[in-house]
Amino acid sequence: MTDDASKTTDEGAGGEYERQPVPDKALLGFKSFVGMFAGEHTAGTELMIGPLFVAAGVSAFDFLMGLLVGNLLAVLSWTLFCAPIATRARLTMYYQLEKICGRNLVTIYNLANGVMFTILAGAMITVAATAFGVWFKFRMPGLGDLYPNSLGWIIAVLGVGVFVAIVAAAGYRTVANIANLAAPWMVLMFLAFGIVTFKQFLDATQTSVHSLSDVWTMCKTAIWKGGQPLEGRTKFTFWHVMFFAWFCNMAWHIGMSDLSIFRYAKKSWYGIASGAGMYLGHFLAWICASLLYAYQIHQNPQNTDVLPGPMTYQAVGVAGLICVILASWTTANPTLYRAGLAFQAIMPTFSRFRVTLVLGLIAAVAGMFPAVAMKLLDFVAMWGMVLMPMGAVIFVDFWLMRKFGLQSNYAELSCTVFNWAAGLAWLITMSVCGWLVWTGRIEIYFVSLPGWFVMAILYILFSRLYQKRMA
Amino acid sequence: MTKIIIQVISWLSLAVLILLPICFLAGKVSHSQIKTGMLMMTAVWFITASLWMRDRKNT
């Protein structure tokens, strides 16, 4: 995923062309986007997401085909939804949203985004702490644990959290440099996890591979066996995997956050550069990370703990622990930094340093509770559900409003700070989606697709009423 | 010239980093050997790459 953390999610992160279209001289080539996506989508989150697919009882065909198709849909969403608007308007998502919805509604969006980023940073602190558990041998939480279960765990998470908070507040640039340094190494480390664990599977099952058919047989019978999920987990089918792979970055493609990135693209087809991130991070890295967990369960079916530290240590030793720490640290830091900026935009009298530090401490406390990390699939799906409606607003406003005889960029034209048509549509869409999920009528992985259409229709209907009334 | 040598060493360390698991898959090296080797290659990568990446940034 997302790595998601390094996205420009606020007005201040880039610091350039925040309130004007990107000029031709600042446009970037295709390779810039390939490198950026490849680096950003192989991150600490992948170490949790891969194993959680195995815990969900996914079968080999469902997993691999679901990832292939879902990631393709994600790439198409960037290419056909996000990039065409980005390369035409060349504005940040925030400025474009402000023109449509008004400053106050954008502030609420910022708040929602900031909360999500803080929680994600907490999950990454959890992941990093599992590496220290290998060294210091304290008791770590299991798959079903919601609360911290040992003093050692609390101290480790707090230690990592405070360190991450201080660095995010004071030295973001240093971490960004380390992230750049680690990016190519980290991709190879994920690949190494996969290769080493595959060999261990071959030895453990005493399989000798003579053809691809032998590999496939082992995948089906020993690695991703399907069957019942672990206790308390949802059973994942092809559709679950496909929708998860498609929507785990929903806030960025269909939700349009990456307008801020693709406004620098010379052509809208540069959206296919996202394929580098999807097929390295959300295909290769997820598969390799899932192999680690599948092997752990194969060796000891009672050991269902999803702890990246011990899993990677078992595969490649101390280098694996370094990978866990760096992957989660380099994800948590930009995540916290951007959460800090989001909140600081709401409370401009507080310094970014202080806001980021406080958020970091909140993330550290959240990180003590393993519930978020262990439910990362649900959390990521919820993130998409909450922020996706604003992407529908931008899409409808850009392509459809004038066709319905309505004004686009209405907040800017009418000098309003809160477009009630968008705000109300967002509230109702989230309420309906939340109700559908809460009552078990539809699973969270699927609800965002109908939710997008509900939002689009409501926004058009409410805009008709609102613009008529305001006129 | 020194910079080129450092760059070559750093890329070689990544090549060896991924060759070690492949050799393990082929049964040519032991599990403990790849653990040690990967840790060494990790150290080499971070030390050497930080030198030329920092240099590139300065220029």
Residue A247 belongs to a domain: yes
Residue A422 belongs to a domain: no
Please give the structure tokens belonging to residue A110: 């910022």
Name every chain B residue with its beta carbon within 8 A of the beta carbon of A329: none
Q: Are A392 and A251 in contact (CB under 8 A)?
A: no
**Closest of A307, A312, A253 to residue A277, by C-alpha:** A253
Residue A173 belongs to a domain: yes
Q: What is the DSSP string of A275-339?
A: HHHHHIIIIIIHHHHHHHHHHHHHH-TT-----HHHHHHHHHTHHHHHHHHHHHHHHHHHHHHHH
Q: Cβ atoms within 10 A of the Cβ of A72, count? A: 17
Q: Say which of A191, A199, A319 has its CB closest to residue B24.
A: A199
**pLDDT given at position A346:** 78
Q: Which residues pair with A59 in a beta bridge?
A: A225
Q: Where are the alpha helices (DSSP H) in A4-43?
A: 30-40
B17, B41, B53, B56: best mutation site toward chain A, by most A Cβ within 10 Å? B17
pTM: 0.92
Distances (CA, A) of B31 to A138, A208, A211, A316, A394: 26, 18, 24, 8, 53
Q: How many domains does chain A have?
A: 1
Residue A457 belongs to a domain: no
Q: Consecutive sets of 10 residues in chain A, 471 residues long: mean pLDDT of each?
A: 42 62 93 88 92 97 98 98 97 92 93 91 94 95 92 95 88 77 94 97 92 94 94 95 97 93 95 96 96 97 95 97 93 84 80 88 94 92 95 97 95 94 97 96 96 97 92 71
Name every chain B residue with its beta carbon within 8 A of the beta carbon of A199: 21, 24-25
Residue A32 belongs to a domain: yes
Residue A414 belongs to a domain: no
Distance CA A261, CA A242 (A): 25
Domain extent at residue A70: 24-377
**pLDDT given at position A15:** 52
Residue A424 belongs to a domain: no
- Interface of chain B toward chain A, CB-CB under 8 angstroms: 14, 17-18, 20-22, 24-25, 31, 34-36, 38-39, 41-42, 45-46, 49-50, 53-54, 57
Residue A460 belongs to a domain: no
**What interface predicted TM-score (ipTM) does this complex get?**
0.95
**pLDDT given at position A10:** 39
**pLDDT given at position A39:** 81
**CATH number where A218 lies:** 1.10.4160.10
CA distance to partner chain B, nearest, from residue A271 (Å): 27
**pLDDT given at position A179:** 84
Distance CA A170, CA A163 (A): 11
